[in-house]
């Protein structure tokens, strides 16, 4: 679930770990990014404000993802029922946590993802690369850079352009190539008219 959500939203690892259930709008399918989990000097996970002012944002998710989250929420509710008074969520109900509600250490997704890739014979990428994959998929679908920038929580569009400039240039070349067939059709039409004259 965390991998799918990372791919679809482009949220940072800490933002995924800081996501609480009440930040998901079940009516509109919008996630509010309001906090992040980071490590304290003692190595414990703690919740803090997002990375930058622009990091506080709303990210829409497709209805299929919303349905998957509802199934996952029912699973987590069962865990909550079983754990009873041993709950250690400290008043927070985060989406991704230990069965007893305790927040995951920030390295947990990375370590789990690394093992998942190895076990399934997949090429190694960092967990953070799921964020880059999300942005690249959106660029290749023709989504405006400004929209992608806002989804990623970049402070300004310049950051997005700097990080994904090479992908945007490739997408731009692909767009230019699409005009090749238009120009060929036009050229053929002109040739046909000239032949008839």
Catalytic residues, by residue number, are: 12, 51, 128, 131, 154, 164
What is the spatial distance between Cα 100 and Cα 109, in angstroms, rounded to a whole number? 17
Question: In a 10 Å sphere around its CB, with 0-12 CB exposed, 13-18 middle and 19+ buried, how is residue 26 labelled?
Answer: exposed
Pairing of strands 57-60, 30-33: antiparallel
- Whether 21 and 2 have beta carbons less than 8 Å apart is answered as no
What is the spatial distance between Cα 97 and Cα 73, in angstroms, rounded to a whole number? 12
Give me the residues paired with residue 59 across strands.
31
Distances (CA, A) of 37 to 29, 44, 47, 79, 105: 23, 10, 4, 22, 8
């Amino acid at each position: 679930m965390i991998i799918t959500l990372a791919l679809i939203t482009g949220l940072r690892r800490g933002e995924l770990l800081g996501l609480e259930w009440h930040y998901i709008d079940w009516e509109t399918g919008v996630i509010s990014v309001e906090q992040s989990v980071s490590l304290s000097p003692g190595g414990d996970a703690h919740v803090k404000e997002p990375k930058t002012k622009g990091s506080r944002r709303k990210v829409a998710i497709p209805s299929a993802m919303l349905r998957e989250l509802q199934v996952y929420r029912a699973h987590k509710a069962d865990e909550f029922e079983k754990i009873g008074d041993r709950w250690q969520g400290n008043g927070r109900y985060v989406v991704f946590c230990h069965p007893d509600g305790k927040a995951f250490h920030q390295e947990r997704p990375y370590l789990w993802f690394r093992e998942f890739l190895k076990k399934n014979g997949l090429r190694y990428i960092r967990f953070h690369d799921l964020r880059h994959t999300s942005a690249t998929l959106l660029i290749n679908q023709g989504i405006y850079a400004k929209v992608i920038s806002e989804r990623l929580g970049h402070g300004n569009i310049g950051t997005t352009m700097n990080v994904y400039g090479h992908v945007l240039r490739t997408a731009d070349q692909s767009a230019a190539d699409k005009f090749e067939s238009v120009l060929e059709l036009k050229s053929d039409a002109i040739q046909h008219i000239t032949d008839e004259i």
